[in-house]
Amino acid sequence: MTDDAQLTALFQRMCQAWTDGDAQAYGACFTADSDYVSFDGARVVGREPMVEAHDRLFRGVLTGSSKET
């Protein structure tokens, strides 16, 4: 699989996880030591804090939101 195909597949998995509101699947798209900066400038380091934040978001203000590919 080419690099482009791998990146496209990763982006599609990430978008599907977002659409499904699945924080664990979304987090699986990132490395364990990821450095994540959200839309409001909040920063978390590591996959688990990012998953926890997105779990709250997907159950709150992002409920029903969708990332279309």
pLDDT by residue, tens only, the chain of 69 residues: 899 999 999 999 999 999 999 999 999 999 999 999 988 899 999 999 999 999 999 999 889 888 664
Say what the pLDDT of residue 62 is.
85
> How far lies 29's CA from each of 5, 7, 13, in Å?
15, 11, 7
Say what the pLDDT of residue 64 is.
84
Say what the pLDDT of residue 68 is.
63
Which residues contact residue 46 at a Cβ distance below 8 angstroms, ignoring those fewer than 6 apart? 32, 33, 34
Contact between 38 and 24 (Cβ < 8 Å): no
Q: Which residues pair with 37 in a beta bridge?
A: 43
Q: What is the pTM of this model?
A: 0.84
